Amino acid sequence: MSRSLMNRAAEPALLSAGGVLVAAAAGGGRGGGHLNRSAALVRALRKAGAEAWLYPAGPEGPLPGVDPGLVISAPGDREWALVVLDCFRCSPEEVEGWKARGPVLGLDEGRSRRSCDFLVDLLPGLPGREQPNLASPLLLPLPDKRRPAFPESGYRKILISFGAEDPGTVTVKAALALRGSPGDALGDVSLTAVLGPLRRNAPEDRKLLDQAGITAAEGVLGSSFRESLADYDLVITHFGVTAFEALYARVPVLLLNPGPCHERLARRGGIPSAGTGKRGLERLAPMVRESVQLTGQSRAAAARWGLDGEKSSLAALLLGARPRVHRACPFCASSGSRPVIGRFPGRTYRRCSCGGIYLDRLDPPPVEYGGDYFFSAYQKQYGRTYLEDFPGLQRIGEKRLDRIAAVLGKNSPGRRLLDIGCAYGPFLAAAKERGFAVQGMDPARDAAAYVSERLNIPVRRGFFPESAPRVPLTSLPSGT
C-alpha cells in the first residue's frame, strides 16, 4: 500500500483538517454583497464545525455589518484545505498566488475563470464564457422568510435597494420617480429606500427622501435585510444577489441597472428591467403601475432559476468536499496550470501539452470501497455478483483487446498493459492470455488480493496516479 493512500485514508471526511479561507472583495468600488455572503458562508461552515475564516481582499477600510470575529487579517503562510474566492474579478496573478496556498474555488468569478481549480456560479452569467462546475442560485444565502405567494397586483409596499454602495447613485432618483401624486396608482404606496453604508452624498439623500415622505432605511444589510424582503410587495434593485433573494421570497422584482453589463445579465436571466440611466428612470413608474405584468414576469424568472423550489446550501456542499488538485501534470510532471477542457459538478479536466488529460476533484471517491461493492451492490445493479460475471467480462475484454491490437500492430513485441481500476481482473486475465505483460491497480482490498493470489498477476492497491508504478508513461513502448 502506498503512503499517500494511507494518509488519505486517515483524513477526516471534511475540510476541518485544513481550514477554509474565504477571500472576499472588499473596499470602495467593490460593493458589499460579496463581503456579506462570504461572511454568511464562514458562519455556516463554522456552525458545522469547520475552521473557516473571512479574508477581506482589497484596500483596508470599514467592513459594514461584518462580525470582526470572522475576519483573519492576513492569510499567513499556511496551506488551506480550500480557498474560496468571492472577488468578482480576480486578476490571474491573484488566483495563481492563492493556488500556492491550496485548492481554489471561484464563486461567480468574472475574469480569471480559466485559472480557478473549481468554479461555482451562484448568479447566472453571460453565455459564451467558460462553463462552471456548478451553477445554481439556490446555493445563495437565501432568506428563510417567504411570502406564501407572489402578490397578484396593486403593490402597497415597495423597497428600493441598490446595495451597500449604489454604484449608479440612483437610490434617491428612483425613489422620487416613484413618488406618485394623490389619486395616482402610486399615490398611496409606502416607499422605503435603503441608504447603504458605502454610498456617497449621504446627508442630502436623507433630506430629499424625508421631504418626499419616503422612509429611509440605513445600515440594513446581511441576514436581517434578507429576511425583511418578504414584507414588501415589490423590490427595486439592480442585477445581483438581492434580486434573486427577493424572487425566492416570492416578491416581484424590477431592475434598474448601472450599466450595459448588468442589463445584459438581466435580459439573459429573464428578470424584468427598466433598463439603465435616465431612460430606465423614466420607465420605472409606468412599469410599476403594470403590476400584473410585472408579477407574471417575476414569477416566470423565479421558476426559470429554480427559485420556486427549496434552497440548498453552499456550506453543505463545501463541507462534503475533500479537494484534490494537481499543481503539476501527473504524466510529465511539468508544472503550471493547463487549459481546462471540461468542467462537471466536482470535476475539472485539464489537458497538458504532453497529451495527458488529468482530473482535479472537489470530492474524490472514498479510498475504501466497501467489501460488498463487487457483491451485493454490484448484484443490485447487474443482477449477479462480479465474480459470477467474470467470464462474461473477460469476453468483453477480449473484444477490446482486438481493437487495441489493431492500433498497436499484430507483432509488436514487449507489449505492457496497466489496467487502472482492474477490479477482480477479467480484463487483465484476457490480456495475459494474449501475451501482454500485465499489471493491475484497484483501491478495493479484496479485488487486489484476488488478482494477486488467484490470477497470479501483479497488482497495486490504490488510486491513479498516486499509486501508479513509477514508470513515466511517455517511456512506455509505442508498439510500432
Return phi, psi of residue 107, to 5°: -100, 120
Which grid cell sits at 390? 467474470
Looking at residues 170 to 199 of the shown chain, list those that interact with Zn ion (rule: CB under 5 A): none
Rule CB under 5 A: is residue 473 a binding residue for Zn ion? no
- Cβ at position 60, least distance to Zn ion in Å: 41
Amino acid at 103: P
- Cβ at position 464, least distance to Zn ion in Å: 15
| Sign of the torsion angle spanned by Cα atoms 242, 243, 246, 251 | positive
Report whether 31 contacts 167 (CB < 8 A): yes
Report whether 368 contacts 389 (CB < 8 A): no
Distance (Å, rounded) from C-alpha 63 to C-alpha 177?
31
Which position among 22, 70, 142, 329 is part of the footprint of Zn ion (CB under 5 A)? 329
331 vs 463 by CB, closer to Zn ion: 331
Rounded to 5°, angle at Cα 297 from 294 and 301? 135
- Cβ at position 331, least distance to Zn ion in Å: 4
259 vs 342 by CB, closer to Zn ion: 342
- As a whole number of angstroms, the longest Cα–Cα distance in the chain is 94
| Sign of the torsion angle spanned by Cα atoms 229, 232, 233, 236 | negative
**Site map (CB under 5 A) of Zn ion, residues 137-176, x = contact:** ----------------------------------------
Strand partners, 56: 24
- Cβ at position 117, least distance to Zn ion in Å: 17
Stretch that binds Zn ion, among 93-101, 185-193, 331-339, 403-411 (CB under 5 A): 331-339
**What one-character-per-residue DSSP string does 225-292 give?**
HHHHGGG-SEEEE-SSHHHHHHHHTT--EEEEESSHHHHHHHHHHT--EEEEHHHHHHHHHHHHH-HH
- Cβ at position 463, least distance to Zn ion in Å: 18
Looking at residues 343 to 362 of the shown chain, list those that interact with Zn ion (rule: CB under 5 A): 352, 354, 356
Stretch that binds Zn ion, among 39-47, 93-101, 328-336, 423-431 (CB under 5 A): 328-336
Rule CB under 5 A: is residue 331 a binding residue for Zn ion? yes
Which grid cell sits at 230? 418578504
332 vs 405 by CB, closer to Zn ion: 332
76 vs 469 by CB, closer to Zn ion: 469
Q: ω into residue 62 within 30 of 0, thus cis?
A: no
Count residues binding Zn ion (CB under 5 A).
Answer: 6
147 vs 351 by CB, closer to Zn ion: 351
Stretch that binds Zn ion, among 114-122, 322-330, 372-380, 413-421 (CB under 5 A): 322-330
Q: What is the dihedral of CA 319, 325, 327, 332, to 10 degrees?
A: 170
354 vs 405 by CB, closer to Zn ion: 354
Stretch that binds Zn ion, among 51-59, 154-162, 330-338, 471-479 (CB under 5 A): 330-338
Amino acid at 178: L
Rule CB under 5 A: is residue 20 a binding residue for Zn ion? no
Q: What is the DSSP-derived secondary structure letter of residue 132?
A: P
381 vs 475 by CB, closer to Zn ion: 475
Looking at residues 246 to 305 of the shown chain, list those that interact with Zn ion (rule: CB under 5 A): none
Q: Sheet with 118-121: list strands edge to edge.
A: 52-57, 20-25, 82-86, 104-107, 118-121, 134-135
329 vs 451 by CB, closer to Zn ion: 329
248 vs 331 by CB, closer to Zn ion: 331
- Cβ at position 342, least distance to Zn ion in Å: 17
Residues that bind Zn ion in the complex, under the rule CB under 5 A: 329, 331-332, 352, 354, 356
